[in-house]
Structures are given as C-alpha cells and as structure tokens.
Amino acid sequence: MKPEMHPQEWQARLQLASCYRLFDWLGWTELIFNHITVRVPGTGDGPPQYLINPFGLHYAEVTPDNLVKIGIDGTVLDGSAHEVNKAGFVIHSALHAARPDAHCVIHVHTTAGCAVACKEDGLRHDNFYSAMLYGDLAYHDYEGVTTDLDEQPRLVQSLGERNHLILRNHGLLALGPTLPTAFNRLWVLQRACEIQVASDAGAGPNRPIAEDILRKVPETRVAGQSTTHQLIFDAMLRRAGIQWSR
C-alpha cells in the first residue's frame, strides 16, 4: 500500500483484485474485456471515485496495485500508466451514478448468460436459482456495442430498482451494496442460466413453479443475506487459493 493511500481504498483494491482472479478461476472471462467495478470508500464528500481493471490485461493479471482509480467519466485519477477501456465503462458509470447502492457493478459475457440473453422469452422462473430472482430481474434491449453515452438513461430506466439485468443479445449484469453481494447475485443469475440451457436440452416440457411459491422464494432464501454473501465470497477465495502476500 502506498503511504498516501487510504486504508479503506487498499482493502477495496485487495477485494476487487481477488474477485477478478476468482472470475478467471471460474472461467467467467472474455479475453481482455468486461469489467468489475467498485466505488472507492473513504473519499469523503468529494466526487465519487471507482476502481477498474487496466485495459489490455487478462483478469488473471489483475493485482491490487495495477487496478486503476477513475472518475465517473472514466478519467484516470491516480496517475496510472495503464489505459482504461472508457467505452466499456459506459454501462458501469451509468449505474454507479444512478444507484447510490451500486457499490459494485459486474458485467460478464458467459456462454450460458449470452445464450439466455438471445432467447425471446429470456430467463424463465422455473428452476431453483431463477426462482430466487423473481421480481428482481430486468431486461435491456440491445442497441449495438455499448459505447454511446446516449444509451445510459435508457439503461438506467431498464434496470430501475432491480439488482439483476439481462442485456438482451449481449450478457449478464448484477450490482450490490458490497462486492460479495454483487458476486453472489451474479453467481445465482449465472447458475439460473446454466440450468435453463441444460434443461432445455432435455426431452419434454419444463415443470412451472406456481406464482404464489415464486413470490415467497426471494424473501426466504438464506443466501440472500449480506453476512452469507461474505461467507460465500471468502469460501470461494479459499477454494481458488487466492490470497495476497503481505
């Protein structure tokens, strides 16, 4: 940690870099593209600042030191020599700015996620994981590669107050008030898509879940609690062997 760096920023860097490495371990990478971003804590009343991966590095190469601190417009604030994919930050900057609870925003192009995003009916709430997302899943229509700032208000409107977003013909997104919460939300969304893709490959129709049951599931699941999110994230880091030397 640099002497002038706030301890809370360093902890955020450690956690975010760990998350990038975890995504690599899980296979949720897309060459040098996609982002996981977090708001920098401990900045007082000044303009919000964010941490993002350096453009040109694979997720497996991200470290706490080479994460780049940027402003809401993607401008580099910490003197980093690394470039930032400003075009890729269009989605993240819109949601960070619009949602005070969006401490962390995650966007991926997983195979199962993209496959479900391409289906007209999107994600059905008929499996164990998709049932957890009932009432908390939004959709945004594809407008081409997301590089136009003009799309940001429509993206914000599509998400509304929900925490999971399927970008049609594109991929998946989740956000949360903490990084572990955003991670667990994305994990559930990804699992829901994987199971739907697998179940659709089997013979016969899928069995629906009654709406009165669907309404109760999100309120009763233990994995929806913030303390559980942290336990899940820490367990996954241990499983992947991700730790940083002092």
Domains in the chain: ranges and CATH: 7-239 (3.40.225.10)
Lowest mean pLDDT among 14-18, 46-50, 160-164, 228-232: 46-50
Q: Is the pLDDT of residue 246 over 90?
A: no
Q: What is the pLDDT of residues 114-160, one digit of tens each?
A: 999 999 999 999 999 999 999 999 999 999 888 789 999 999 999 99
**Residue 99 three-state SS:** coil
The C-alpha atoms of residue 127 and residue 206 are separated, in whole angstroms, by 9
Other beta carbons within 10 angstroms of residue 145's beta carbon come to: 10
Report residue 84 as tokens: 């930032």
pLDDT, residue 145, reads: 87
The C-alpha atoms of residue 162 and residue 157 are separated, in whole angstroms, by 10
Lowest mean pLDDT among 145-149, 203-207, 210-214: 145-149
Contact at 8 Å (CB) between 38 and 16? yes
**Residue 30 three-state SS:** strand
Q: What is the pTM of this model?
A: 0.95
**Residue 91 three-state SS:** helix
